[in-house]
Amino acid sequence: METVLGIESSCDETAAALVTGDRTILAQRIASQDDAHRPYGGIVPEIAARAHAERLAPLIEEVLAEADMALGDVDAIAATAGPGLIGGVMVGLVTAKALAMASDKPLIAINHLEGHALSPRLADPTLDFPYLLLLVSGGHCQLLLVEQVGRYRRLATTIDDALGEAFDKTAKMLGLGYPGGPAVERLAATGDADAVTLPRPLMGSAEPHFSFAGLKSAVLRAKQSGRHRDADIAAAFQQAAIDCVIDRTKRAIDVVDDVSALVVAGGVAANASVRSALEELAGAHGLRFVAPPLSLCTDNAAMIAWAGLERLATGQNDPLDFAARPRWPLDPDAEPVRGAGVKA
Ligand code: KG4
Ligand code: ZN
């Protein structure tokens, strides 16, 4: 049974994991940097890169020790090579290269988005290609047709903010601190979504793209008006965001045929209301709904190791001079979308 060491360092979690070809996570460690970034209300790239450089090697030692393995027992080393904050990506990729060189094992350079896209298959052995994937994280908001390992067709993206970003900014406006998604979800549970009227950008538009900038501005106006409880604003925001996600995903379901499952991945997939709305949508269209467990939704190294195993199984690995990529679209043929900026 093959075992891959996975390394993740593209954003603000430093993570290492050992995963086997039969989907067993032998060991995994995640060091969150939340405390380091909290005073700034968001991620500071320089602080993130330094923290990755300090934490990564010890985490790798810990997972090897926990699995009672030596580096020589590992079959390949997979690391996120982009997209993400370049300093952090370089720490992980260079570490992986050094380990690959020292152990004479193949290096597999993983697209972080591919890690998220394939993570549902780590959790669910019965999930076959093709499937419709809603990828919702802090930096990305896309609908993808996952055709096979390495073949992803982007059906839609955001023309401004990512969904997780909208959650984070709403949290900031409501003074909930960082990271914002889980805090907004908790506060929303105590609020009345109908007490505040908020817009649903792009709802009903023909192409399944997303937009959250207008919703974010409306949240700010609602807060500044002083007329609403924060809990009601949080609930109204979450409901508006979910309505948009469901409408857009429904549109994508209408344009793809022959998928058996609707799959959600990325950090926002940890949101229980988002998950249940998607589950209902899938059911209404006769599709299976697959969502990885929460620990595999937010950034982690098990999904990177798993993507490495999937690539290894198709005979792929990468040269030691593979360069880190701050931007790396999953679908290189996708047309740019007006206003899509850095999130495309
Ligand atoms: O996938 P991820 O860990 O990192 C990126 O690749 O971006 O996603 C992080 C994002 C953050 O924006 C965070 O606020 C959001 O996922 N998030 C949530 C929840 N948990 C994490 N958003 C809404 N509800 C949650 N429970
Ligand atoms: Zn991510």
CB-ligand 1 contact for 82 (6 Å cutoff): no
Burial per residue of 132-164, b for 16 or more beta-carbon CB atoms within 10 angstroms, e otherwise: bbbbbbbbbbbbbbbeebeebebbbbbbbbbbb
Tell me what the mean pLDDT of segment 124-143 comes to: 95
Nearest-angstrom CA–CA distance, 76 and 168:
35
Q: Which of 134, 176, 149, 156 is nearest to 271 (CA)?
A: 134
CA 159 to chain centre: 18
Tell me what the mean pLDDT of segment 195-216 comes to: 96
Burial per residue of 84-98, b for 16 or more beta-carbon CB atoms within 10 angstroms, e otherwise: bbbbbbbbbbebbbe
Is residue 133 pLDDT above 90, yes or no?
Answer: yes
Q: What percent of the chain has pLDDT over 90?
A: 88
What pLDDT score was predicted for residue 271? 97
Tell me what the mean pLDDT of segment 71-99 comes to: 97
Q: Do domains 3-117+296-343 and 128-291 have the same CATH topology?
A: yes
Residue nearest to atom 7 of ligand 1 (CA): 138
Nearest-angstrom CA–CA distance, 13 and 31:
6
Residue nearest to atom 1 of ligand 1 (CA): 267
Length, in residues, of the chain:
344
pLDDT tens column, 268-317: 999 999 999 999 999 999 999 999 999 999 999 999 999 999 999 999 99
Is residue 160 pLDDT above 60, yes or no?
Answer: yes
Q: Which ligand is nearest to the CA of 141?
A: 1
What pLDDT score was predicted for residue 41? 76
Categorize the per-residue pLDDT at 207 as very low, low, confident or very high, splitting at 50, 70 and 90: very high
pLDDT tens column, 94-121: 999 999 999 999 999 999 999 999 999 9
Substitution site in 30, 112, 245, 268 for ligand 1 pocket (most atoms within 8 Å of beta carbon)? 268
Atom of ligand 1 nearest to the CA of 297: 1
**What kind of architecture, by CATH, is found in domain 128-291?**
2-Layer Sandwich (3.30)
CB-ligand 1 contact for 308 (6 Å cutoff): no
CB-ligand 1 contact for 268 (6 Å cutoff): yes
Written as one string, the DSSP assignment of 245-307 is HHHHHHHHHHH--S--EEEEESGGGG-HHHHHHHHHHHHHTT-EEE---HHHHSS-SHHHHHH
Sorted by sequence, the CB contacts under 8 Å of residue 154 that are 6+ apart come out as: 142, 143, 144, 329, 330, 331, 334
pLDDT tens column, 166-198: 999 999 999 998 779 999 999 999 999 999 999
Is residue 69 pLDDT above 60, yes or no?
Answer: yes
Nearest-angstrom CA–CA distance, 216 and 44:
22
Answer for the pair 44, 12: CB distance below 8 angstroms, yes or no: no
Tokens of 27: 């060991």
Correct CATH for 3-117+296-343 of 3.40.50.720, 3.90.550.10, 3.30.420.40, 3.30.930.10: 3.30.420.40
What pLDDT score was predicted for residue 343? 41
Tokens of 115: 């890690």
Q: 275 CA distance to ligand 1 centroid (A)? A: 13
Is residue 61 pLDDT above 60, yes or no?
Answer: yes
What pLDDT score was predicted for residue 341? 46
In terms of Cβ atoms closer than 10 Å to its own Cβ (0-12, 13-18, 19+), residue 196 is buried
Q: What is the pTM of this model?
A: 0.92
Would you list the domain boundaries of the chain?
3-117+296-343, 128-291
What pLDDT score was predicted for residue 339? 61
CB-ligand 1 contact for 130 (6 Å cutoff): no
CB-ligand 1 contact for 83 (6 Å cutoff): no
| 17, β-bridge pairs | 6, 28
pLDDT tens column, 3-49: 999 999 999 899 999 999 999 999 999 998 888 888 887 788 988 99
The whole-chain average pLDDT of the chain stands at 95
